[in-house]
Structure 1
């Protein structure tokens, strides 16, 4: 006797329903695999159980198969919008996973959340830290050497500027000394009586002539207005001198 037909209705017994679901699910997945291999077909199978569990099979890729299905079944506009939405969703998922991975790596580098790591992962983390420490020390040494070279260059520049300033100051002092010597050479003591015997003057002092030579100077013609009063009580020499002067004055003004 063969197996009788099974009535297609919901199995009320929960255990029997679960057993039947498991058997037929495996058979369906097997049939989908055989169909994709034997007929070179692109098969995508998605199954959700009554409890919400997902079971899937894809000969190529379920995502690509679904995109191909959307391109074939929907309008071009709807297909474009859906494809963009799907691509954005995938991009967001990738970025979210990458962000979580970076956060986890950062915590590990800071020495946090090391419990779930295995010995191999801890060894890799230790190597990464040692390499980062070596690079940081190398960079620090390079920066210090560059700063030392810069300070040496500034020191040489300041030394050259100091030498130039010294030369300039010495030239200024020598010029000031030369000007002082020239001013002392031009200055001379104005001593008419010759108190210092050793001092010499570039300008000779002319003394007025003595009284003995007053008579030797020829009298210049002058205009005399009024009378000359002579003192008769003086000696003959004074009278004769005055007469001589009068005669000279008269001769000078005579026509």
Structure 2
């Protein structure tokens, strides 16, 4: 026989609430035990009743070991996330720097190929000419070596 779906809200009757708490607590602790046995999982369950009474289950001998392991794990994740954020920030900065370098190199290439000499000053044109002459001299010096 299937149970009907119950509405999730606080049970007003104190006695019914206490009985339901007790049954559900026992069911939850049983499920935790089954999970630890069947799946060889490390399980810890902490339950505080409305009156403040503590109920606990631990698959190993001490629940504190599991809690400490949880804290170390969350600390490691926070540290990892912090390091990852710093790495991402560094890579974004490096990307921006590389984009600037690419842009400057493209402008330099256009100037060397003679595409945008109209916006250059006389000194810039002189430097470009000197660079082209040095490049031409270097090519002429290597030409006989390549023909051999």
TM-score of the aligned structures, taking structure 1 as reference length? 0.29
Q: Which has the higher contact order (CA 8 A, sep 6+)?
A: 2
TM-score of the aligned structures, taking structure 2 as reference length? 0.49
Structure 1 or 2: more helix by fraction: 2
Q: Which has the larger radius of gyration?
A: 1
